[in-house]
Structure formats: structure tokens, C-alpha cells
Structure 1
Amino acid sequence: MADSRNAALAAWMAEVGMSARELTDAVNHAIRDLTGRLGATSERTVFRWLSGENRWPQERQRRALEAISGRTVADLGFVPRGKRTTSPVPPAAPSEDTVHRRRFVGAATAAVAVPLIASRPQSVGTSDVVRLRDSVEALVAIDAERGGHTALERAALAGADEALGLQRRSTTQRVRQRLFSLAADFTATAAWSLIDARQLDAAGKHLDRALTLAGMAQDSDMAMQVWNLRAMLARQQKDHGMAVAAAQAAQATPIARQSPLHASLAHARTAIGLANSGDRRGALRSLGRAEDAMGKVDTTEPRPIWIAFYGPAELYSLTATVRDVVGDPAEAEAAAYRALAALPQTYRRNRAHTTVRLALAQLHQGDVEPACASSADVFTIMSGDPLPGRLRQLLGTFHRDLITLAPPRIAHEWADRYRTEWSPA
């Protein structure tokens, strides 16, 4: 029956990009890790799980599924046969991938990185890909909450090294390519962490390596990520011509031609580069293309973790930047308010960044007191963590404009009040 399908399992497989054949391989390798013998699960068995024909896998398969996904079998949509619930599967010991994620979080939040894996089985398969993808997701979550920092960079580079080490032992071409793709993702994450921390020279070297790895993976999505970050790096370096060229390279990737979401981001990044280059008409034209593409995005489709931040809220935030740079501060203020209303609370760094854009738009309209009040909110939003270098630089821009546009007393008071929490980058 149609309503008996296991929608939860199908949704998880779609989320991680796993086919039935790949899940079969992952389950059999996880069973080997648990028992010492390769499992005998067939692809037909996976299809029976998806159809709902088999609602309760064997115990070894259940444990393997939990080890692969990091979720309980109940979360994956499985239910015991009949009413026999008196013999539940005993809780499994913490799986290796769970330990791996904890170590990644520890490496990203502590002063030094720690070894990721003490030992691994000799055979490499899809379960390793899933485990490493979970670790990328953990690092992206830390970045959204706290912003870029060197410990996050070290953890990301350690992940890239592990992915490349596993690639040398992988058994299939598809797994090798996915491990190259993960290495590119980790390396790009390291680069972004340094861009956000304003350590720009090392960030460029990471991006060069990430683009090479994306090419080896034949992964257009990863190539798009690298060009997007290259545009952001060039903007931080005030090389606006390079920023436009990198954004246009992002537009030219196959994924941007296929995906309205990727196309929208590439056009928005182009708009920022053109605005900073003094091309008002071109900037607004690119911004319009970004908005048109966003209107075509299917919000129900799963998306890569690196671009999960991008949606209407982030587009509003980038609109605020473009509009302020081209001399439309009232429109910039309105866009910033829209962005703040739509941004999820978990995107703390992005919220702080947009709040500074709001303060700048207010200041550029001569609304000094509201601008100072908005800028003060940044320190509340980021309370408990150091301000990332990119955010400190933007606050430096606000302070310089405050000196130019406001009475000297107000600028001095602002600097004196927040000196302990902020210093110009």
C-alpha cells in the first residue's frame, strides 16, 4: 500500500544523497565493523525497507543503520513487527561516527585539534562518506553560531586529511570521488573560517587546493562553493574586479545553470562586486537576476550543507549591502529589517553582520541615534564569543563613518563604550 512506505528512511537517504545500492554497501560494511564479518544485506532488502514491506530489519541491520545514520531505527521509520515490543534491541555502544563528530566539535572549540580517529577498518565505503559528511555539518553549525576562528580551520583541515587518506584505500571509483568532494568541502570550510577571521593570505591557499580537489571529484557544486568564497575573499582584499570575475565563474558552473538556488547566490555575489566597483546599473541588474532566480527555488528540495545558509533572508542581507554601497540607504535599511525578520536564530554571526549593515544604512540617512542603538545590538548578539575579524572590520567601517557623519562627542562615546569588546581590524 502507498501509505505504508517508509518516508523517514527515504527522506534521510535523500538528505545525505545515498542510493539504495550505496546504503546496501554501507550496511554490510557496518555489520562487518560490528561483528567482524561482512553483512549479506541485498539491494532488494533496502527496497523492501523503503516500500514498507519490511518494517523491522534484523538486529544486526538495525544496529548498522543506527551506526551509519547516527539516528535510532525509530527515527528512520522502522517499527517492531506486530505487538512484540518486550525484546527491544539493547542500546548499542557509542558508534565510531558519533565519537568522530564529538572529536570534531572538540577540535573546533578547543585551543588545539585532537586526533580524529584512532584506527579504522582497512576497507572504506559509503558509511565513511556519511560519517565525514556529518562532521562537515557539525563544523558548519559551529561557524554559524560563533564565526570563523583558527581552531575551526584546524578541525576542517584534519577532516580533509582524513578524507584524502581514506580515498587512497577506497574500493570503488564513486566512493573515491565522494571522498575527494568531502576533502574539497572541508578545505573550503577551512578557507571560509580564515576569511571570516580576516586571515586572508592563508585562505587563498586553501581555496586553490579546494578547487583542485573539486576538479578531481568532478563536483560542480564544490567548484561553485570555491568560486563563491573566492569572490568573498577578493572583496575582503578590495580587489573588486577579481570579486566580479570569481562570481561570474560561479555563474558559469554547471550547478548554477541547473539550480536556481546556486544561480541566485552567484548573481547576488556578482551584484556586490559590481556595486563596490562603482557599477550601479550592473549591480542592480545582477540583484534583480538573483531575486528572479530565488523565486524559482523549490524550498522542499534538499540542499548541500554549505549553501544551507542561503535563502530569502540572506538575499535580503546581501541586498542591504548592495543598496547601501550604491547610495540607496533607505532601501538598504528596509532590506536589512526584512533579513533580520527572516534569519533563523541559529545564524548568530549572520544576524550580527546584518545588524551592522542596518546600522550603516541608518547612519547614512543621518539617523545617528538609531544607528548607534543598532550597532550596540551586535555585542549582545555575539555575547560570550570573540567577534570574528570580518565583523570587527565592518564595525570599523561603521566607526569611521560615525566620525565623519556624527558630532565628535557621539563617535568618541561610542568608541569608549565598546572599546573592551571591539577594536578596529
Structure 2
Amino acid sequence: METDRNVLLEAWMREHGHSSNTMAEAVNRAVERLTGRPGGCDGSSVRAWKSGRIQWPKALTRRALEDVTGVPITALGFAPRGRAQPVPAVPEQEDPDLKRRTLVSGGIAAAAAAAAPGSAPRRIGMADVDRLQHRFTEIIASDHRHGGQIDIERRAASLADEALNLQNSGNASQRVRANLYAAAAAFRSSAMWAAIDGRRYDEAKAHMREAQALAEMSGDQAIKFRIWSHAGTMYRHMGRTADALAANDVARNLHVTRRDPMFASLGLARQAAILGVAQDRTGTRRAFDQAGDAMDRADPAAHRPTWLVAFYDPAELNSLALSAYLALGDYPAAELHAHRCLSTLRPHMARSRAITTTRLAHAQLAQGDTDAATKAAMTVPTAAATQHARVSRMLGEFGAALRAKAPRSPFVDTWTEHTAAWRITA
């Protein structure tokens, strides 16, 4: 006997970008969350649901489907034999201008509408997640241009709250909700990084705690890696090397580092930077060698998160090596890595260029080359020198070291005049 296709399930899968195989995987994960053991669905199971050959799955499968989709099982076109499936309502003709205005209104207006008394719950989909991802890309770009600014921290925190508000503004599938939690965690981790970069460590720790909770709810390994790796960097800047290594080890032990050597490389490079502060010369060199090997093994065509693609490359690997060898007092090696970093640094990495140039000046001054050191330090843009907390501190330390090393040198006067001009133009 011919059966009717389950058009409602097919429509839901199309809307949320699921194939039969990915839908089966999502259901199996939901079964594992419910029972502790993965489910046994595969692509053929889902095709049987779509064709109508299976009209009423087993109770556990029905519950898992509701968990994945966020809607009742009957709204997905399933019904016991002999009971009619719900017929999708025919939508009224919609005014194109009205539709455009509705879409432009964004997530906050939608959340407010959903909260209004008597209104029907809004359906939250991947389009909402994509809109948040676009805003995340803007935050990443601002960080690489300016870094450490309070307004970046506040914008990122506000967008994290917007992602969470969207969770409560309507119905969503389990997949969409996981992506919203991941987006909120990503924004909160950017707020954390901006606070670290601006040396506002109490604020950074508060963002870290919230980001970690959100990442756990999302189940996103990549964002968990970012948060714990940031934590390691934060503790390194604070001089708490034991805590830094412990936090970085959490990141390095996530299975995403075994799946993608680029994550493994970043974890090893940051471990090497921490070991430099800890004065472990052998460990530092070994970790950097391993980080380079892992980067060479990584597939350049692999899909990776925006935040990783935007900054981690050979230039950043050399930047971390520069930091480590400066901490170890190996100034020739530090200078070598500084030049390597600057020669390959991408144009949009303005914040990184300012930090690397300042560290180069320190490495040159420590070797007695006051002329080259002063000239390098003077190329740091005024905006970075006066508005970026880390750069400002390092340049202040450079001036103090220059005066101590060559108190009667004309370079001291040159540097003093240069920094006086900052106060006028800043």
C-alpha cells in the first residue's frame, strides 16, 4: 500500500540544513543525552520517516526528535497509523515591503514582539544565528585593529546578552539553541580577551566564568578551546605560570586538537610562551618545534572558526616565540622572531604590529643597539602607544630602560621629545 510522504519533516530538515545522515546523527546525540548511550539511527532510518514507511517511531526516538527540533512530534508530521497527519496551513499573501521591514528589525525587536501578551511564539532559526555570526566577525575585526578597548569589551558582552535573549524569544530546535549558546560564548570570550588585552583582569575573570558556562551548554569544542586558551594567556600576563599551564592544558586536551593540528599548534605555541615566562628553556624550544610541526601538518583547506583563521598563522607563531625568548633573556632569538613576524604579518593586524614592534625595540635595546631600538619604538602609531594598555606599558618600560642604559645618549632626548608629542596629539 502506498504511503504519504512526511512533508512536514522534510520541510523542517530543509529549513535547518539537515541531510538524512546529519539528522540521524543529531537524533543519536539526543538519545545519548537522554540515556547515556548513543542511538542507533542512520540515514536509512530518516529516509523511512520521510517516505512515510515509518509513521510513528519508537517512544525514545520520538522524544529525541522533539529534543532536536524543539517542536511536538505531531508537528513534524508523525502520527500513529489510522490518525491523520496535521495539514500545513496555507500562508496568506504577504506584502513584500512588510516582510522586508520585519526582517530588518533584527533580533531585539523580535524578542520584544514574542514577549507581548497574546502573541504567538516566534520561530528562531539558523538565519538568526548567521546574523549573530556576522556581528562576531565585526568584533574580531575591531579587536585586530584596536585591541584592549573598553568599548569592544562592552559591545561583545552586549551581543552575548542579545544571543541569550534570543533563546527566550521563541521556539527553536536543539541544534539552533546549541548554536545560540556557542555564539553567546564566543561573544563573551571576546569580551574576556578585550579585558585581558587592556589589563583589566578582574573583568576578564568575570567574563571567563560566564563564557565557560555558556560553552558547556553549547557543546562546541572550538569555543571551549578559545576560552581556556585565553585563560592560559591571562594567567601568563599575570605572572601565574602554574595556573597558566593548567588552563592551557585544558585547551590542549580537548579532542578538537586531535581532530585538527592547527588547534594543537596554537595550544603548543601558547604553552611555549608560558614556559618562557617560567624560565624553562628546553621546554620552550621543544614546544615551539612541536607547534611548527603541527602547523605544517594542518590542512590549509579545512573549515575553521573565524576567530582562529583571522589571527593564527606563522606570523602569530613567531610573535609568541618573540614573547617567550624575551622572557628568557635570549635577545638575539627574540629579535629574529620579531623580524620574521613583521615580515609576514597580515595588514589588518594593527594591534599585533604595534606589540611586535615594541618587543623588537626591547630586544634591540637589550643588545646595546640604542639607535635601532629607538627608531623601532618611534614607529609605533600614536593611537596604539597612548590607547592600548599593553603597548603603553611596554613603551613606558622601554623609555625607562633606555634612560638607564644610555643616560647621556642623544637617543634619550629624541625619545623624550617623541613621547611629549604623544601627549599633544593623543
* TM-score after normalising by structure 1: 0.70
Q: Distance in 2 between matches of 1:316 and 1:97?
A: 44
How many pairs does the alignment contain?
Answer: 326
The letter for the 2-side match of 1:137 is: T
Cα offset, 1:245, TM superposition: 1.6
Instruction: Report the equivalent of 2:165.
Output: 165
Instruction: Report the equivalent of 1:22.
Output: 16
Instruction: Report the equivalent of 1:274.
Output: 275
Q: Distance in 2 between matches of 1:224 and 1:97?
A: 34
Instruction: Report the equivalent of 1:117.
Output: 108
Q: Distance in 1 between matches of 2:104 and 2:198?
A: 28
Check 1:415–1:99 CA distance in 2 against 1; reply closer, same or farther (3 A cut). Answer: farther
CA contact (8 A) 2:386 2:392 kept: no
C-alpha deviations, 1:370-406, integer Å up to 9, x for none?
01111111126x47x9531122122233233323333
Q: Alpha carbon RMSD of aligned pairs, Å?
A: 2.8
Task: Report percent identity of matched pairs.
Answer: 34
Check 1:98–1:287 CA distance in 2 against 1; reply closer, same or farther (3 A cut). Answer: farther
Q: Of 313, 333, 339, which aligns to 2:335? A: 333
Instruction: Report the equivalent of 2:378.
Output: 376
Q: Distance in 1 between matches of 2:100 and 2:397?
A: 48
Q: Distance in 1 between matches of 2:132 and 2:331?
A: 43
Instruction: Report the equivalent of 2:249.
Output: 248
Check 1:256–1:422 CA distance in 2 against 1; reply closer, same or farther (3 A cut). Answer: farther
Q: Distance in 2 between matches of 1:365 and 1:93?
A: 66
Q: Distance in 1 between matches of 2:237 and 2:218?
A: 28
C-alpha deviations, 1:244-286, integer Å up to 9, x for none?
2222221111112221111111111111111111111111111
Pairing 1:202–2:203 present: yes
Moved more, 397-406 or 186-195: 397-406
SS in 2 for 1:229: helix
CA contact (8 A) 1:260 1:296 kept: yes
Instruction: Report the equivalent of 1:108.
Output: none
SS in 2 for 1:295: helix
Check 1:334–1:133 CA distance in 2 against 1; reply closer, same or farther (3 A cut). Answer: same
Instruction: Report the equivalent of 1:193.
Output: 194
Moved more, 412-421 or 176-185: 412-421
The letter for the 2-side match of 1:147 is: G
The letter for the 2-side match of 1:132 is: L
Cα offset, 1:413, TM superposition: 4.2
Cα offset, 1:170, TM superposition: 3.8
Q: Of 360, 363, 368, which aligns to 2:362? A: 360
Cα offset, 1:218, TM superposition: 0.9
Q: Distance in 2 between matches of 1:402 and 1:20?
A: 65
Q: Distance in 2 between matches of 1:238 and 1:217?
A: 31
Cα offset, 1:416, TM superposition: 4.2
CA contact (8 A) 1:359 1:371 kept: yes
Instruction: Report the equivalent of 1:292.
Output: 293
Check 1:94–1:351 CA distance in 2 against 1; reply closer, same or farther (3 A cut). Answer: farther
C-alpha deviations, 1:350-385, integer Å up to 9, x for none?
1111111211111121111101111111126x47x9
Q: Distance in 1 between matches of 2:152 and 2:269?
A: 27
- Structure of greater Rg: 2
Cα offset, 1:147, TM superposition: 1.4
Q: Distance in 2 between matches of 1:167 and 1:355?
A: 43
Q: Distance in 2 between matches of 1:96 and 1:198?
A: 41
Q: Distance in 1 between matches of 2:141 and 2:377?
A: 24
Cα offset, 1:21, TM superposition: 5.5
For structure 2, which runs of at least 5 residues remain unmatched after alignment? 1-12, 20-46, 48-95, 115-121
Q: Distance in 2 between matches of 1:123 and 1:154?
A: 28
Cα offset, 1:227, TM superposition: 1.0
C-alpha deviations, 1:153-209, integer Å up to 9, x for none?
111111111111122334211111110111100000111111111111111110111
For structure 1, which runs of at least 5 residues remain unmatched after alignment? 1-18, 26-43, 45-89, 101-115
Instruction: Report the equivalent of 2:130.
Output: 130
Q: Distance in 1 between matches of 2:273 and 2:104?
A: 40
What is the 5 A alignment of 1:298-337? 298-308=299-309, 309-337=311-339
Check 1:252–1:413 CA distance in 2 against 1; reply closer, same or farther (3 A cut). Answer: same
Cα offset, 1:289, TM superposition: 1.2
Check 1:226–1:389 CA distance in 2 against 1; reply closer, same or farther (3 A cut). Answer: same
Instruction: Report the equivalent of 1:224.
Output: 225
The letter for the 2-side match of 1:275 is: G
SS in 2 for 1:303: coil
Q: Distance in 2 between matches of 1:255 and 1:422?
A: 46
Moved more, 124-133 or 167-176: 167-176
SS in 2 for 1:193: helix
Q: Distance in 2 between matches of 1:310 and 1:94?
A: 38
Cα offset, 1:145, TM superposition: 0.9
Q: Distance in 2 between matches of 1:253 and 1:133?
A: 23
SS in 2 for 1:345: coil
CA contact (8 A) 2:318 2:337 kept: yes
Q: Distance in 2 between matches of 1:284 and 1:345?
A: 28
Q: Distance in 2 between matches of 1:293 and 1:269?
A: 13
Instruction: Report the equivalent of 1:40.
Output: none
CA contact (8 A) 1:247 1:269 kept: yes
* TM-score after normalising by structure 2: 0.70
CA contact (8 A) 2:232 2:244 kept: yes
